[in-house]
A and B are shown apart, each in its own frame.
Chain A
Amino acid sequence: MADVNIAQPKPELTKEKQLDQFLGQMSVPLFFAFLCLLGIIAANLNPRFLINEILTRLGRNSFLVLSLIIPILAGLGLNFGIVIGAMAGQTALIIITHLQIGGLPGLLLAFLISIPFSVLFGWLTGLILNRAKGREMVTSFIMGFFANGLYQLVFLVLIGTLIPLKNPVLVLSSGIGLRNSIDLIAINKALDHAVFGPVKLGPYNIPLFTLLVIALLCVVISFLMKTRLGQRMRAVGQDMNIAEVSGINVNKTRIIAIIISTVLAAWGQLIFLQNIGTFNTYNSHEQVGMFSIAALLIGGATIRRATIWNALVGVLLFHTLFVVSPLAGQRLLGIPQVGEYFRSFLAYGIIAVALALHAWQGKKK
């Protein structure tokens, strides 16, 4: 056997370069950690309150943020369409409220009911996104608004006109449309307190079961990425054309990714609402996409790369900021709204910066 040897040049990754890369990836979370620290000092909050608040929010939001990871890996970018998943979750909640099934069984039933809705919505979203390759994000963003219109049409107009529903707890006094807010006392903290009851660790309330569920989801996501399906998604995420040539059904893979994300978002919204204990029929889902995406990005994710740690760190940082900024604004400038506006400025701003950086780097290539 002829053995002509061409020595393979080793790409030398010096320690310095590795450090650079690490800092590059960590710079965003580090910056926001610094900002959080400043906010905490300025707000001068009771640390017990702060930690309790953050624990609650970690349990409340992490699932939603984690639902964003798979579409990113499959190359679909930030899935602004998780609002649609949230709507599926809320639909399930409305159904169990109407059926008057509460407690953990009620919540579990809601998880179950949300599946057909979110699979259907996810499939439709996937179909549409496949028609808008290269502008998935703006399309999913607009789809969120569009679906919101349909959602309102169903629950504000069709209930009582086309859909016969006569439940005085849910329906407005005019007989048409659902009430603006629906009480969820029946399932409040049903998951947080499941199995173990209300868990307290010293002064801190721990939503133990929810945290376990989130941990399970993390395991499931990392398992999924190690399977053949996960490998297909990563391949599609890198280059649709090459994936297609190697015989991967690109469109189908993308639709699966979106369906998974939508189902997870529906469940995430259920976890979110069972913790809060009440929901605004027409508003609760609206901010879900924006806040989850901002959290993920603050955790150091980009439009093409996201890890479970990005999600968890992001939730931690974003919600710390969320808690402290109004108080910090109040104490520093005497105007609490400044803090609130600053908060939404950061949320919008980080998304704008992430999008711009993504496009910028994409162009350089």
Chain B
Amino acid sequence: MPESYVLELKGITKNYFGTTVLKGISLSVKAGEIHALVGENGAGKSTLMNLIFGMPVIHETGGFEGDIFIDGQKVNITSPRQAMELGIGMVHQEFMLLPGFTVTENIKLNRELSKANLVSKTFGSSFETLDYPAMQNDTSLAMKKLGLSIDETSLVAGLPVGYMQFVEIAREIDKKNVRLLVFDEPTAVLTESEAEYLITAMRLLAAQGIAILFITHRLDEVMACSDMITILRDGEMVTSISRSNASLERIAELMVGRKLERAQLPPRAVEPHDQDLILELNNLQVQMPGEQVRNLNLKVRRGEILGIGGLAGQGKIGIANGVMGLYPASGEVYKDQNQIKLNDSKDALQSGMAFVSEDRRGVGLLVDESIALNIVLTSIEAQQKFLQPAVLPGVRLIDKKSVRSYTLKMIKDLDIRCTGPNQPVRRLSGGNQQKVCLARAFTLKPEVLWISEPTRGIDVGAKQLVLDLLVQMNREYGMTIIMTSSELTELRRICDRIALVYKGRVAGILRPDASDLEFGLVMAGKKTAKEVG
């Protein structure tokens, strides 16, 4: 007889608008088992979670293939509510707590214990009065299961962050039938001692027979507490191994591992070298929520393509945003030995740098304006291009003619598929929108191009085109490119060097052909690599 599993996934496949994000995932969790789910960003972890938890986003985008079994029963989970009824609890990455409610009120939110009264007997259970003593009783019971004591009547607003996490967990285990708890990167916001305690609490819960699915990319935590480890990569399940068979190095390697497909790139006349630096970042700090940069140092060689990689939340995204003045930054940035004013996009632009943001629709585009305006507006503002004198002295108007001819040229050069320069960019596909973003940056004729997540959300063909374009710009015009990406493959495909960011600092700079193991370890902060060159 096969062992009984609390949760079983069989052949889960999920498509988002034609892109396959999960491919044939099968995984099973036993009662009392801590099952770790690890993988890089975009490996499909959060999609898998949304799927198990019945989030509406899954069904709004066409559902999925494959089966989910709870306790051996095939289920079709269509809403978070149903997931809860099936005994699935979720500890969210962002706290789902009401600051103005007490610990008890939060734990019992929408599951309040109440007493009937005269009104409720006529008008229904909505009018039952809340039974605070009973609710507090339950709360302290749940807290005890976690081995914790918190005053149940204090407001959540006054609690330290670590405690909020425990209140979340307490809420889940207070649900009487809870059998499976999903932890979505629970330690991301915790201090080290809090994280340690959380691990202890998780073990405690598992010992009480609750199955735990633990999503993380902190490998030491995986090694510390999990029974089984499943590794996802690019939406595919690499393997499921028990911890006794795993080692930190092996997991790291499996997480990253890909066949290197470094195409033959065109050669340069002079290779970039350390004696000719174009950019120097000293002690850069950027206050970007979720992507903090702390005391980062980086030297960029003239004419190179430098990759910046690292796991989500480690700060790689913050670097370009800080240098280009989009998020509050401090420290020193020198371009050609001239210091650049931080927190001033204008100065950054005028010093010959341009930025293609990772947040295409949020920062990169005016979605309801024309392609033409999107391409030229930054140049008009920062470099006063495309303007012509008008009747009045000192007044200059936009030169529609030259804007049009320039846009037509860009549409042709970058192969932007559109109906013409006046088409609003909203109607373009993701890849073509990205080309408009690139055109906007190229129009500034930058010496240094910062580009973040250049291929996110665009289809495979367009991905290749965008990367080819970057290489072309680099080789033909000697444009220095600093490319930030969560996809190690594409960094390794076109970059000369790859800087890996961990905890807001550069943990190491690797050559694109360094081993998978080395990439995995440096990204997980287990090893610092010396600069290579």
Tell me, rounded to whole Å, the shortest Cβ–Cβ distance linking B522 to chain A: 32
Tell me, rounded to whole Å, the shortest Cβ–Cβ distance linking B472 to chain A: 44
Q: Contacts A11-B154, A242-B98 given: A2-B148 contact, CB under 8 Å? A: no
A9 touches B96 (CB 8 A): no
- Cβ of A200 < 8 Å from any Cβ of B? no
- Cβ of A235 < 8 Å from any Cβ of B? yes
Picked from A3, A227, A238, the residue with its CB within 8 Å of the CB of B100 is A238
A247 touches B84 (CB 8 A): yes
CB contacts under 8 Å to A, within B103-119, are: 105, 109-110, 112, 114, 119
- Cβ of A4 < 8 Å from any Cβ of B? yes
A9 and chain B: residue at smallest CB distance: B160
- Cβ of B62 < 8 Å from any Cβ of A? no
Picked from A227, A238, A246, the residue with its CB within 8 Å of the CB of B130 is A227
- Cβ of B200 < 8 Å from any Cβ of A? yes
- Cβ of B72 < 8 Å from any Cβ of A? no
- The answer for the CA separation of A226 and B128 in the assembled complex, in Å, is 8
Tell me, rounded to whole Å, the shortest Cβ–Cβ distance linking A7 to chain B: 9
Tell me, rounded to whole Å, the shortest Cβ–Cβ distance linking B427 to chain A: 25
- Cβ of A14 < 8 Å from any Cβ of B? no
B114 touches A228 (CB 8 A): yes
A223 touches B126 (CB 8 A): no
Number of interface residues of B (CB under 8 A): 40
B110 touches A247 (CB 8 A): yes
B197 touches A246 (CB 8 A): no
CB contacts under 8 Å to A, within B55-87, are: 80-81, 84
- The answer for the CA separation of A223 and B126 in the assembled complex, in Å, is 12
- Cβ of B149 < 8 Å from any Cβ of A? yes
- The answer for the CA separation of A11 and B160 in the assembled complex, in Å, is 10
Picked from B100, B130, B147, B154, the residue with its CB within 8 Å of the CB of A1 is B147
- The answer for the CA separation of A188 and B509 in the assembled complex, in Å, is 87
- Cβ of B50 < 8 Å from any Cβ of A? no
Picked from B100, B105, B119, B193, the residue with its CB within 8 Å of the CB of A231 is B105
- Cβ of B20 < 8 Å from any Cβ of A? no
A226 touches B130 (CB 8 A): yes
A228 touches B150 (CB 8 A): no
B126 touches A228 (CB 8 A): yes
B110 and chain A: residue at smallest CB distance: A246
Picked from A6, A226, A228, A238, the residue with its CB within 8 Å of the CB of B98 is A238
Tell me, rounded to whole Å, the shortest Cβ–Cβ distance linking B353 to chain A: 31
Chain A residues lying within 8 Å of B193, measured Cβ to Cβ, are: 6
- The answer for the CA separation of A234 and B130 in the assembled complex, in Å, is 13
A247 touches B80 (CB 8 A): yes
B140-172 vs A: 1/0 string, CB under 8 Å?
000000011111001000111011000000000
- Cβ of A201 < 8 Å from any Cβ of B? no
Chain B residues lying within 8 Å of A6, measured Cβ to Cβ, are: 148, 162, 193-194, 197
- The answer for the CA separation of A30 and B130 in the assembled complex, in Å, is 34
Q: Contacts A5-B149, A8-B149, A11-B158 given: A228-B127 contact, CB under 8 Å? A: yes
B132 and chain A: residue at smallest CB distance: A226
A245 touches B80 (CB 8 A): yes
B101 touches A226 (CB 8 A): no
Chain B residues lying within 8 Å of A5, measured Cβ to Cβ, are: 148-149
List chain B positions with a Cβ less than 8 A from chain A: 80-81, 84, 92, 96-101, 105, 109-110, 112, 114, 119-120, 125-130, 147-151, 154, 158-160, 162-163, 193-194, 197, 200, 203-204
Known A-B contacts: A238-B98, A247-B84. Give 10 more (CB < 8 A): A8-B154, A8-B159, A8-B163, A224-B127, A227-B129, A228-B130, A231-B130, A245-B92, A247-B81, A248-B110
Would you give 23 A-B contacts (Cβ < 8 Å), ordered by A? A1-B204, A2-B147, A3-B147, A4-B197, A4-B200, A5-B148, A5-B149, A6-B193, A6-B197, A8-B151, A8-B154, A8-B163, A11-B154, A224-B127, A227-B126, A228-B125, A228-B126, A228-B127, A238-B98, A238-B101, A243-B110, A246-B109, A246-B110
